[in-house]
Structure 1
Amino acid sequence: MAYELYYWDGLQGRGEFVRLALEEAQAAYVDVARGEKTDSLGIGAMMAKLDSRSDAYPPFAPPFLKDGDLLIPQTANILFYLGPKLSLAPRDEGLRYVANGLQLTIADLVTEVHDTHHPIASGLYYEDQKGEAKARSADFLAHRMPKFLGYFERVLVQNPSGPQHMAGDTLTYVDLSIFQIVEGLRYAFPKATKHLADHYPHIVALRDAVAARPNIAAYLASPRRLPFNETGIFRHYPELDRSAR
């Protein structure tokens, strides 16, 4: 049976980290909210799952993955589940927890990126918190982004198996997620990330290696890969960008 991925239509968002893993492994999956708007597919099906009174443990929010009778919420949790099944997790059990920790740190970074354009409340429009967003973005670009990227660069450099991968000596879902982080930051903050390779060469080299993988390259060239836009997590508002120091 195909995996069923539930996430909002029209944007990449947190669901994209899961899609990249499924696409790299060429796993059979249905992107439910992008299907035909019938009783079994579409946004309606996703909302029905969120509002379900029959599931003992309904998900709080997308993304969530359905595999048979199992319903798995939260991006890092989904990837922790899928990784071994898709051969995208370290073979060593201890390293699997390392990979999960790295993915959870990526989730922290994703939250901070979101908060650059919605620092007050998700329920308010960006225009309603524009001044606060400018202040939050300035701090993010000056302090938080370098702290996260510096950490990931250090993990790559210190990997005993070499700086080609984040955890262990083979491709994992964490490597795919680092690719998405670089792509998203470059879209949202093109000025601040213009010289990213000068400061974080191993991160950018990993991004390039992932982009060159045949299955990922085919996905990126397909209509399944939606473009970044101003409804997702990574949004480009020129007034929030600045040249790196």
Structure 2
Amino acid sequence: MTTPYQLYYWDGLQGRGEFVRLALEEAGVPYVDVARQKKGMPALTASLDGDKVAHPSFAPPVLQAGELLIGQTANILQFLGAKHGLAPRSQEGRLWANQLQLTIADIVAEAHDTHHPISSSAYYEDQKKEAKARARDFREERIPKFLDYFEGVIQRNAGRGGYAIGSRLSYVDLSLFQLIDGLVYAFPKTMAKLAPSYPGLFALHLNISERPNIAAYLASKRRIANNETDIFRRYPELDK
């Protein structure tokens, strides 16, 4: 395509927008990270304004592709996957990919709620006691439950390159990379203990990190560093 995609997501955050960035980077297609440009935030706000766009999204990420304005991470990835060879060709395969992506969205939401269990609009420091209890359950119960599921997906697809679906890379693999990367950042002690139980997931994480386009992206200034205003946050007191 001659016109770059326009990606609308908050400046300074990986967040849910990073799942989209990884797909765009792997596909090697041009895009503009709008909020990181001059006057980008007003443009981002306008993409959510129902008085200005026909189908406003509730929140970023939003992808503009020509006249299309697409919201919701899984929805965007379904579009990009079909357009750029990052999704299965069959309807059954594409539905399966979307199902897995929506399950990834579930654990990402739970990871966020470890540090904001009461309210997203309140400071972490105002809900630290509740955050410790929520993080303990997440570490001990929820992370293993989700990783058991995703490891099973990879193992049942064994012998086909170590991917989640079929014998070639899909956007789901890129999203699993980002999930593991975020969990390792936020809960390094927990993930170090769990790693031996999930060889498929950690092998996939390494494989994705070494793909030429992704490796170049991770080493570039385009990749926003993990930080404590993002979804995955490293608070040592939450990783006992």
TMscore range, shorter length: over 0.9
Unaligned stretches of 5+ residues in structure 1: none
Q: Which residue of 2 aligns with 1:116?
A: 114
* 2:161 and 2:168 in contact (8 A); partners too: no
For residue 224 of structure 1, give the secondary structure of its aligned residue in structure 2.
coil
For residue 191 of structure 1, give the secondary structure of its aligned residue in structure 2.
helix
TM-score by length of 1: 0.95
Which of residues 30, 33, 36 is equivalent to 2:32? 30
Q: Which residue of 2 aligns with 1:152?
A: 150
- Alignment pair present for 1:3 and 2:1: no
Q: How does 1:197-236 map to 2 (within 5 A)?
A: 197-236=195-234
Partner letter of residue 173 of structure 1?
Y
Q: Aligned-pair distance for 1:92?
A: 2.3
1:58-99, Cα deviation, whole Å (9 max, x unpaired): 111000101111110000010011101111001222111100
- In structure 2, C-alpha distance between the alignment counterparts of 1:162 and 1:196, rounded to whole Å: 24
TM-score by length of 2: 0.97
1:151-203, Cα deviation, whole Å (9 max, x unpaired): 00001111266361111110000000000011100000011011333110000
* 1:179 and 1:207 in contact (8 A); partners too: yes
Which of residues 15, 18, 34 is equivalent to 1:16? 18
Q: Which residue of 2 aligns with 1:106?
A: 104
* 2:47 and 2:62 in contact (8 A); partners too: no
- In structure 2, C-alpha distance between the alignment counterparts of 1:160 and 1:121, rounded to whole Å: 41
Q: How many residues align?
A: 238
Partner letter of residue 207 of structure 1?
H
Q: Aligned-pair distance for 1:131?
A: 0.4
Which of residues 32, 54, 57 is equivalent to 1:56? 54
- In structure 2, C-alpha distance between the alignment counterparts of 1:14 and 1:196, rounded to whole Å: 24
* 2:19 and 2:178 in contact (8 A); partners too: yes
Q: Which residue of 1 aligns with 2:192?
A: 194
1:183-242, Cα deviation, whole Å (9 max, x unpaired): 100000011011333110000000010011000000000000011000110000000002
Q: How does 1:128-207 map to 2 (within 5 A)?
A: 128-159=126-157, 162=160, 164-207=162-205
* 2:182 and 2:232 in contact (8 A); partners too: yes
* 1:156 and 1:163 in contact (8 A); partners too: no
Percent sequence identity is: 61
Q: How does 1:87-106 map to 2 (within 5 A)?
A: 87-106=85-104
Considering only aligned residues, what root-mean-square deviation do their CA atoms show, in Å?
A: 1.1
